[in-house]
Amino acid sequence: MNLEKLWQRFGLSIFITLAFSFVILDMWLAHPHLYEVTMYILIVTLLIGFIQKRYQETPRTLSIPNLQLLPTKNYAAQFNLSDILLREFDYVKETAAQAMNDREIIVKYFLLFTGAILLGMWFMLREEGGARFAYRFESLIAVSLLFNAVGWISFMQVVRLRQAWCESARAMNHLKQFFVKHCEYPPDIAKRAFRWNIESIPLAAKKMTVFYFSALLISILSSAAIALASTILPNVELLRKSDIVHQNLGLPLIYPLIGFGLGLYHLFFQMSMYSALLEERLLSTEDDLYQEFQKSREASVETKELREQFQAHMEYEELLDRKRRLNFGNFVIEQPELLKAYSSAILEAAKHDPNGMGSIAEDDVLAGRFTIPDDIRIKDREKENVYLVAAVENLLRDEIALREPAHEGLHLVFPSAFTHEHPDLSEPTGKAVIFKCMPKVSLLHVYATLAVRLSYSGLFKKKEIWKNAVMYTAKVGGTYGILLREIENGGGELTLFFDGEASEETRFHFEDYVLAHLQDRALQGSIDRQRIFVCSQCTTPVTDLQVDRRRARGFNWIECNVCGERVSLLDRQERITGITVSRVPEMHRAADERREREAAAATLQGKIATGDFDVFLAHNNQDKPQVEAVAEKLKQRGLYPWLDKEQILPGEWFQEVIQQAIPKVKSAAIFIGPKGLGKWQVLELRSFISRCVEAGIPVIPVLLPGVEDIPQELIFLKQLHWVRFAEDIDDPEALDELESGILRKRYSKN
């Protein structure tokens, strides 16, 4: 380290130390010449500090090239995106470094100011100084309050610099995330290069940081000034008669104790302000954000155009990953990176499953019973509950986890978190196809989502799952397996193997779905398929060269060179008699529906916890079994119905509870069965519909099986579009139509 850097880092600190040293010597020795020396050192320190401040605040410039776009549509050819991203990263890095540097300067100058104030105080309390200052104690109080005010300003500067540093850190990691997603390497491989990422950024209010200790130092000194002022203020006259130099104050003990207490209170108050000012908003409601948006646009009334602008704004915020709207409680996640951190922590907890099965109880997740760093964990339990439900929903919707029942309840199972490898599958018997590819994301992620989607496909059922393999059974019989092998550069192999009971047609559908899954998630042109031909008697493999030359001569079989058994060289559809239609679209639909159903179950947990009802179910008690069955099917779709059996307690008035329920629901369904309305009278129903209309709640008449049309006494309901269950309540088309009405979405049979 050269002298220039030593001067820049330690010069001011050295002279501050000298100034304090001479102040202490002057206090102890009371030497007449030390006073002048101390003043001289202080003046020199101020000059040095001023010069160093000017030196450190020399503005830095970034050499960003001028981009002059030519009048052509080919803008991509005129500038290099990588160069712009690099310079943007450099700029953000400079802002983060500048925040740290400014914090250091503020603390240094506050300490310098502290030394100057202490020197001034001691000068006022000296005997010869006291002769010149008649109001030295009043001046001492004023100086203490001034010092406290400067302390508050410095404190607020540190707080703002902490916010600036966090904003810069997020911007840097946002750029890194963009690079990881779009670089030539698979994201999971590129991500390993960065120890810090957008999920690991601590909260701004985290303690035990340099910003926190800087604020604490300023707060302690400011609080000491308050303690001094509050001790002197009620005792000015008494202190004038005391001998301060010889420590003969004669003050009652109560006053220093009061001053100490006020100083301590000030310290705790100021540090609580540090946490409060830096506490980031974690959760909002869409209504609150809309009101803020409305104020920012200076709009006094709501209009359709303003609402559309707000929705476009929210979509843009979600696109930039700055907000995340939830499917329950009208909530909006303000810190999506924190939600990702919770999801990662849940996955890590599953990896530490003592049985090595990559699972964790859903109840443990929703209760927060898993390890997560203290500086990331949300302290507000209610807000954390919302984040936990949202994390479970995301894990299921992103097909990272399976939701499976166990003896102690539902478990989240992560195929990528298994730690036990299958002991006998290094070379599986019955292997038929090997897929080699370079995925867009890590092969482990591709394998995990494939394992989940095959389990949800409706054609295959998960039998066993391991770290490197998964096996399924089919309704027609047989075992169908996938073996994973990763390669260092991010690519790998998926080997498909089958037992003797697996039918050729089902094997074809299994392979077809695996290939379709890889084509969606692998780099274009990187998939290589290798067909493995093996003798069914002695399991001797046939080489690729033998297969190619034999088929080139028009043969679809070859004799085993060990046992002489005829080995078929037919591949894929050639092995199937007749024409087979691909079932991939059907399997995709089944997997998507099951995925949405599992995610909806997590969404329902959030709605139940927040009392976020989707639909009010008005019905006749005689139709209750059918209505309850409809309610269960709506719950499976993530909709939370208001049902009197669940919501009205014994002894409560029915109509009063209904009045309270209307503002809480988003829609109302009126079930009409063969027995009519029951306890609902026509006048009561008219009044109920009127209240719903006034509240902007859509009303959906629902005809149960056995009812062909709306009864004559309810003819006014014909003004509304109704839903009809023709045969039974398992009618999927009627349920889809009812769901569309509840969610206010246009229904389409396609």
For residues 670 and 616, the answer to whether their CB atoms sit within 8 Å is no
Q: Is the pLDDT of residue 414 over 70?
A: yes
- Of 89-98, 190-199, 338-347, give the range with the top mean pLDDT: 338-347
| Per-residue pLDDT reduced to its tens digit, 115-133 | 767 766 666 665 444 444 5
- The predicted pLDDT at position 69 comes to 38
Tell me what the mean pLDDT of segment 588-610 comes to: 86
Q: Is the pLDDT of residue 20 over 70?
A: no
580 burial via Cβ count (<10 Å: 0-12, 13-18, 19+): middle
- The larger pLDDT score, comparing residue 215 to residue 536, is at 215
Which of 233-237, 506-510, 723-727 shows the lowest mean pLDDT across its residues?
Answer: 233-237
Please give the Cα distance from 605 to 673 (Å, whole number). 30
Tell me what the mean pLDDT of segment 100-107 comes to: 80
Please give the Cα distance from 515 to 432 (Å, whole number). 14
State CA 246 to chain mean position distance: 63
Q: Encoding tokens for residue 13?
A: 């600190």
Q: Encoding tokens for residue 705?
A: 């099986």
Please give the Cα distance from 599 to 391 (Å, whole number). 10
Provide CB contacts within 8 A for 24, sequence distance 6+. Answer: none
- The predicted pLDDT at position 58 comes to 43
Q: Is the pLDDT of residue 371 over 60?
A: yes
| Per-residue pLDDT reduced to its tens digit, 322-354 | 888 988 888 998 888 888 889 888 988 888 888
Query: Tokens 């899954």 label which residue?
Result: 517
Q: Is the pLDDT of residue 18 over 70?
A: no
Tell me what the mean pLDDT of segment 216-244 comes to: 72
HSE of 383, CA atoms in CB hemisphere, 13 A: 16
- The predicted pLDDT at position 128 comes to 47
| Per-residue pLDDT reduced to its tens digit, 162-184 | 888 888 887 777 777 777 666 66
- The predicted pLDDT at position 13 comes to 54
Q: Identify any residues that bridge with 479 across adjacent strands, giving them in sequence order.
A: 473
- The predicted pLDDT at position 63 comes to 40
- The candidate with the shortest Cα–Cα distance to 616, out of 665, 678, 681, is 665
* Percent of the chain whose pLDDT exceeds 70: 74
For residues 667 and 742, the answer to whether their CB atoms sit within 8 Å is yes
HSE of 414, CA atoms in CB hemisphere, 13 A: 27
* Strands of 431-437's sheet in order across: 460-465, 469-474, 479-486, 492-498, 431-437, 528-531
- The candidate with the shortest Cα–Cα distance to 580, out of 517, 518, 514, 504, is 504
- The predicted pLDDT at position 65 comes to 40
pLDDT tier at 558, thresholds 50, 70, 90: confident
Please give the Cα distance from 479 to 431 (Å, whole number). 12
Q: Is the pLDDT of residue 35 over 80?
A: no
Tell me what the mean pLDDT of segment 85-96 comes to: 76
- The predicted pLDDT at position 1 comes to 44
Tell me what the mean pLDDT of segment 106-117 comes to: 74
Q: Is the pLDDT of residue 9 over 60?
A: no
Please give the Cα distance from 704 to 722 (Å, whole number). 11
Task: Sort strands 668-672 and 699-703 into parallel, antiparallel or unpaired.
Answer: parallel
Tell me what the mean pLDDT of segment 540-560 comes to: 76
Please give the Cα distance from 492 to 445 (Å, whole number). 12
Please give the Cα distance from 355 to 5 (Å, whole number). 55
C-alpha separations of 724 from 219, 286, 513, 670, 731 in Å: 69, 34, 37, 12, 9
Tell me what the mean pLDDT of segment 415-440 comes to: 79
- The candidate with the shortest Cα–Cα distance to 170, out of 337, 317, 283, 315, is 337
- The predicted pLDDT at position 70 comes to 39
Q: Is the pLDDT of residue 672 over 80?
A: yes
- The predicted pLDDT at position 473 comes to 92
Supply the pTM of this predicted model. Answer: 0.70
Q: Alpha-carbon torsion 664, 667, 673, 678, what sign?
A: positive
Tell me what the mean pLDDT of segment 587-604 comes to: 87
- The candidate with the shortest Cα–Cα distance to 443, out of 514, 522, 515, 496, is 522
Q: Is the pLDDT of residue 75 over 50?
A: no
Q: Is the pLDDT of residue 729 over 60?
A: yes
pLDDT averaged over every residue in the chain: 76
- The predicted pLDDT at position 80 comes to 62
Q: Is the pLDDT of residue 737 over 60?
A: yes
Q: Is the pLDDT of residue 741 over 50?
A: yes
pLDDT tier at 59, thresholds 50, 70, 90: very low
- The predicted pLDDT at position 195 comes to 63
Number of Cβ atoms within 10 Å of the Cβ of 250: 10
Long-range contacts of 209-214 (CB under 8 A, 24+ apart): 209/162, 210/100, 210/103, 211/103, 211/158, 211/161, 211/162, 211/165, 212/274, 214/103, 214/106, 214/107, 214/158
Q: Is the pLDDT of residue 79 over 60?
A: no
411 burial via Cβ count (<10 Å: 0-12, 13-18, 19+): buried
pLDDT tier at 437, thresholds 50, 70, 90: confident
* Strands of 699-703's sheet in order across: 641-642, 615-618, 668-672, 699-703, 723-724
Identity at 299, one-letter amino acid code: A
| Per-residue pLDDT reduced to its tens digit, 612-651 | 888 888 888 888 888 888 988 888 888 889 887 777 766 6
Please give the Cα distance from 725 to 469 (Å, whole number). 44
